[in-house]
């Protein structure tokens, strides 16, 4: 019985919250994803869904 308690306490010592290492590349990727989503949402808000530009010269301008 005492041996089992020692093993349980040893196992509890190994348990803990996992540490997550953050990297600059992950931060850059998250920032790029957020920026892309912002630009896409801004385009939908400004133009509105379902907007069709019929005059192609207005785009080239």
Mean pLDDT for the chain overall: 81
Percent of the chain with pLDDT over 90: 23
Express each pLDDT in 3-12 by its tens digit.
888 999 888 8
CB 44 within 8 A of CB 50: no
Q: Could you tell me the pTM of the whole model?
A: 0.43
């Amino acid at each position: 019985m005492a041996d089992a308690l020692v093993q349980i306490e040893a196992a509890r010592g190994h348990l803990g919250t996992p540490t997550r290492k953050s990297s600059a590349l992950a931060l850059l990727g998250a920032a790029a994803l957020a920026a892309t989503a912002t630009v896409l949402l801004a385009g939908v808000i400004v133009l509105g869904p379902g907007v069709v530009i019929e005059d192609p010269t207005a785009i080239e301008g």
